[in-house]
């Protein structure tokens, strides 16, 4: 059964490296055994044997020492399992687990982030509802940014490689991840896809997530920033309807701004609603069709690149 959706037949897949390099040959990197052609590729659990001390857990650590807990034996995670087994007796009781449900995804996201930092790569995770204009926005951005730096794109969709083909037509390497029945990209999918892209050292990786304003917000991919794209045709109250998404993002890009007057779109109210759920969110208005606002967007990218360079410098001291 698929660990993502419970389906028995639908699988997600990542394009082979040879298929999507618009600029050169695929990287010769060792293949990590999280094959996206198998159901096991979706690593959503937390199988690490050591729990994180950053994740909250309130149990004391006394190896092998049962403690009173609600009238039942409490077994520490550090207890020696052998000490629990007595011939002919069950090991009835309560086991404290205290681990983040998203722990495994978070661990893989941290590995991705370390890899991106080592490659001095700036990574953005674009999210929106379907039809907000993410792909059009990226096609314009990569067409213009490819002149000044190395660019790569990971495209996430349930089906088809249409979006990756649009990006490749703009002269930039792109890899399509088809998620099958899955409603979001996860860190394992990104790790796999990145290894199949050509080298992007000191460049920018754009990830276009599955069109969905709910699920993708929950999954760290290892990106530097999450960006939500909201189009003027969607209405001002989207941030209130989907607060988790807007709370998770550093930047809200309001696309199709050229249609604002036609649609009587209230920009002030939209920004006010977004800042109710995330007082720190930055806001830029753009039009992927006309190019309006893209200069400010590129300036914002430059600012994030400078932040990352400073962070990298600090870690290397």
Q: Residue 231: name the closest of 268, 270, 205, 269 by CA.
A: 270
Minimum gap (Å) between residue 176 Cβ and other proteins: 20
**244 binding other proteins? (CB under 8 A):** yes
* Stretch of residues binding other proteins (CB under 8 A), selected from 13-21, 48-56, 160-168, 191-199: 48-56
Instruction: Report, in Å, the least distance between residue 177 CB and other proteins.
Output: 15
158 contributes a contact to other proteins by CB under 8 A: no
| DSSP output for 152-179 | EEEEEESS-SHHHHHHHHTT--EEEEE-
Give the β-pairing of 122-128 and 225-231. parallel
Q: Is 183 in the site for other proteins (CB under 8 A)?
A: yes
Please, are residues 249 and 280 in contact by the beta-carbon 8 Å criterion? no
- Residue nearer to other proteins on the CB measure, 43 or 251: 43
Which parts of 186-205 interact with other proteins (CB under 8 A)?
A: 186
* Cα separation, 73 vs 135, whole angstroms: 55
Please report the DSSP string for 217-281 in residue order.
GG---S-SEEEEEEEGGG-TTHHHHSHHHHHH-SEEEEE-GGGHHHHT--HHHHHHHHHHH-TT-
Residues in region 50-79 near other proteins by CB under 8 A = 55-57, 72, 75
- The contact pattern for other proteins, residues 83-122, with x = CB under 8 A and - = no contact, is -xx----xxxxxxxxxxxxxxx------------------
Give the chain's radius of gyration (CA, Å): 22
Letters for 2-41 (x = contact with other proteins by CB under 8 A, - = none) are: -xxxx-----------------------------------
In the list 20, 42, 134, 140, the residue contacting other proteins (rule: CB under 8 A) is 42
Contact 94, 195 (CB under 8 A): no
Q: Tokens for 265? A: 């779109």
Token pair listed for 264 = 């009587």
Site string for other proteins, 200-229 (x = CB under 8 A): --------------xx-xxx----------
By the rule CB under 8 A, 44 interacts with other proteins: yes
Torsion 209-213-219-222 (CA) sign:
positive
Find the part of the chain contacting other proteins (CB under 8 A) among 8-16, 20-28, 199-207, 235-243: 235-243
Please, are residues 64 and 80 in contact by the beta-carbon 8 Å criterion? yes
Q: Which window, 156-164, 168-176, 273-281, 283-291, contacts other proteins (CB under 8 A)?
A: 273-281
Tally the C-alpha atoms within 13 A of residue 165's C-alpha that lie toward its C-beta. Answer: 4
Q: Residue 206: helix, strand or coil by DSSP?
A: strand
Given the rule CB under 8 A, which residues bind other proteins? 3-6, 42, 44-47, 49, 55-57, 72, 75, 81, 84-85, 90-104, 182-184, 186, 214-215, 217-219, 239-240, 243-244, 247, 273, 275-277, 279
């Amino acid at each position: 059964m698929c660990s993502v959706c419970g389906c028995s037949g639908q699988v997600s897949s990542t394009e082979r490296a040879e298929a999507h390099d618009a600029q050169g040959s695929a990287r010769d990197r060792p293949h990590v055994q999280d094959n996206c052609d198998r159901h096991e590729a979706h690593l959503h659990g937390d199988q690490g044997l050591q729990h994180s001390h950053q994740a909250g857990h309130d149990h004391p650590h006394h190896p092998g020492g049962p403690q009173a807990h609600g009238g039942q034996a409490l077994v520490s995670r550090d207890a020696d399992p052998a000490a629990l087994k007595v011939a002919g007796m069950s090991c009835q009781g309560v086991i404290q687990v205290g681990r983040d449900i998203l722990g495994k995804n978070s661990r893989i996201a941290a590995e991705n982030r370390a890899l991106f930092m080592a490659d001095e790569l700036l990574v953005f995770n674009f999210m929106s509802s379907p039809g907000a204009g993410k792909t059009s926005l990226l096609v314009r951005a990569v067409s213009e940014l490819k002149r000044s730096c190395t660019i790569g794109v990971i495209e996430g969709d349930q089906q088809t490689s249409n979006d990756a083909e649009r990006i490749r037509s703009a002269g930039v390497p792109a890899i399509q991840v088809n998620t099958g029945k899955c409603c979001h990209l996860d860190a394992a999918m990104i790790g796999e896809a990145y290894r199949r892209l050509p080298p992007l050292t000191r460049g920018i990786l754009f990830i276009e997530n599955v069109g969905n304003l709910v699920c993708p917000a929950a999954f760290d991919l290892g990106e530097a920033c999450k960006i939500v794209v909201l189009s003027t045709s969607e209405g001002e109250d989207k941030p209130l309807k989907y607060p988790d998404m807007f709370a998770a993002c550093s930047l809200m890009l309001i696309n199709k701004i050229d249609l604002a007057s036609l649609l009587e779109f209230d920009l002030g109210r939209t920004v006010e609603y977004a800042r109710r759920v995330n007082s720190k969110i930055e806001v830029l208005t753009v039009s992927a069709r006309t190019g309006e606002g893209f200069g400010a967007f590129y300036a914002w990218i430059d600012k994030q690149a400078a932040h990352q360079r400073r962070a990298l410098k600090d870690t290397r001291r």
